[in-house]
A = this chain, B = another copy of it.
Amino acid sequence: MSQALAHIVDDDEAIRDALTWLLRTRNVAARTWASAEEFLAGWQADFHGCIVLDIRMKEMSGLECFDALLERNNSMPVIFLTGHGDVPMAVSTLKKGAFDFLEKPFDDNALVDVVIRAMESDARKQASQETQATVTGRLAQLTPREQEVMQLVLAGKFNKVIADQLNISMRTVEVHRSRVFEKMGVRSAVELAQLLAPGRD
């Protein structure tokens, strides 16, 4: 997994260097990209940290870049920088999920604070997504029959009822049930319910 980085996307080298220096003095690792196209080309799904995105750039704008990232299911928080902001633009980006929207000239410390909050937010999201991925992975290891039985167990049905419904014997249900618990890493139906309740698929 790649390290958490603040990705600075701006076509002005002076700004890139200034921001990088600013963040480094606060112990925030940064990487710079000279254009939206370059960033999108280098972007990978396992990137973590946050993105500082200038809106007015040559060729592809920050807004277009943001839309492209949304389509790729980017998970990193995006902080917009703009010189001539207008309200509808700010509103629409925030409603689309941007983390913040700052107008130049901005306060150096304020930007760094926002970046740090964004990176903390991403770290939290990442942690919960990883546990979620573990659960999903374990679910994938279940055979079709086991998943079927699991659903009925979660519905609170007795083994006897499940057996009737699937036209199999109680003993077979017990075997599947046991394998489900084993593969999912739980030891009771209660734990299973708690594992699957917050964030179903």
Residues on A close to B: CB < 8 A?
Answer: 82, 85-88, 90-91, 94-95, 100-103, 153-154, 156, 187-194, 197-198
Task: Enumerate 18 A-B pairs (CB-CB under 8 Å) in ascending A order.
Answer: A82-B87, A87-B101, A87-B103, A90-B91, A91-B100, A94-B95, A95-B100, A153-B190, A156-B187, A156-B188, A156-B190, A156-B191, A190-B190, A190-B193, A193-B193, A193-B197, A194-B197, A198-B198
Interchain CA distance A90-B100 in the complex, whole Å? 11
Closest residue of B by beta carbon distance from A158? B188
Could you tell me the distance in whole angstroms from the C-beta of A80 to the nearest C-beta in chain B? 9
Which of A82, A87, A154, A192 has its CB near the most chain B CB atoms (within 10 A)?
Answer: A87
Q: Pick the most buried of A95, A187, A194: most chain B CB atoms within 10 A of its CB.
A: A194
| A99–chain B nearest beta-carbon distance, Å | 9
Closest to A187 in B: B156
